């Protein structure tokens, strides 16, 4: 079995983390380094990560996540936020591609124009969807990269978005799309994987 398949099959949403386990910053940094390969619409890199390791801040996040115990026992809690205004970074991102010779001046202007037209033309709801969409894809890759390094995770949506924004000083341009708890899963808490639909129930070929 390939390494990737092993990681995909072995990743589970942790029910309970073992207490008192520290996730080294070096380990998280190395995951974030690989995470830079994640895809994003127009390469706009909408996802921002807020990593909580400090016990006091973690306690406040635990309260904002309606006291879900796994937040308290996790080695770290991470908020993946999607930036609704990521399109406004188009110039600086594409400037980099121009300097690297990947695109020329004409392509630079055309890409920047297309991006602004799309995001401003399609407006708030598109910017909102894009923030969630791109942050979610990034979060999935984060969880796989963590698992590959022996760390368990749980994606979570049951939290008070406004409280989380306040605690972590997240701007109104960003949407806390998903919370990821990370740590070492308590082996006694692992249950069988919940039943899954058969592929013919969720795949349609045309």
| Contacting range for ligand FMN; rule: CB under 6 A; set: 2-10, 47-55, 115-123, 153-161 | 153-161
Site size for ligand FMN, by CB under 6 A?
Answer: 11
Residue 12 vs 53, nearer CB to ligand FMN: 12
What is the rounded CA–CA span in Å between residue 172 and residue 78?
Answer: 18
76 binds ligand FMN, rule: CB under 6 A: no
Residue 114 vs 157, nearer CB to ligand FMN: 157
Q: CB of residue 15 vs ligand FMN: minimum separation in angstroms?
A: 7
Interface residue with ligand FMN among 1, 20, 106, 158 (CB under 6 A) is: 158
67 binds ligand FMN, rule: CB under 6 A: no
187 binds ligand FMN, rule: CB under 6 A: no
Interface residue with ligand FMN among 20, 100, 194, 201 (CB under 6 A) is: 194
Residue 17 vs 87, nearer CB to ligand FMN: 17
SS3 per residue for the chain: CCHHHHHHHHCCECCCECCCCCCCHHHHHHHHHHHCCCCCHHHCCCEEEEEECCHHHHHHHHHHCCCCHHHHHCCEEEEEEEECCHHHHHHHHHHHHHHCCCCCHHHHHHHHHHHHHHHHHHHHHHHHHHHHHHHHHHHHHHHHHHHHCCCEEEEECCCCHHHHHHHHCCCCCEEEEEEEEEECECHHHCCCCCCCCCHHHHCCCC
What is the rounded CA–CA span in Å between residue 108 and residue 114?
Answer: 10
154 binds ligand FMN, rule: CB under 6 A: yes
89 binds ligand FMN, rule: CB under 6 A: no
13 binds ligand FMN, rule: CB under 6 A: yes
Residues that bind ligand FMN (CB under 6 A): 12-13, 68, 154-158, 178, 193-194
């Amino acid at each position: 079995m390939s390494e990737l398949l092993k990681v995909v099959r072995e990743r589970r949403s942790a029910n309970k983390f073992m207490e008192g386990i520290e996730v080294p910053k070096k380990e998280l940094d190395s995951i974030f380094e690989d995470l830079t390969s994640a895809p994003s619409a127009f390469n706009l890199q909408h996802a921002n990560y807020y990593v909580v390791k400090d016990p006091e801040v973690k306690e406040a996040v635990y309260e904002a996540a309606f006291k879900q115990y796994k937040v308290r026992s996790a080695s770290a809690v991470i908020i993946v936020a999607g930036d609704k205004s990521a399109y406004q970074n188009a110039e600086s991102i594409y400037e980099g591609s121009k300097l690297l010779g990947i695109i020329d001046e004409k392509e630079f202007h055309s890409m920047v124009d297309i991006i602004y037209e799309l995001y401003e033309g399609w407006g708030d709801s598109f910017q909102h969807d894009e923030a969630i969409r791109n942050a979610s894809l990034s979060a999935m890759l984060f969880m796989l990269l963590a698992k590959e390094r022996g760390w368990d995770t749980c994606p979570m949506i049951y939290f008070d978005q406004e409280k989380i924004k306040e605690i972590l000083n997240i701007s109104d341009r960003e949407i806390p799309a998903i919370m990821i708890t990370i740590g070492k899963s308590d082996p006694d808490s692992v249950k069988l994987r919940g039943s899954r639909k058969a592929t013919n129930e969720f795949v349609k070929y045309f």
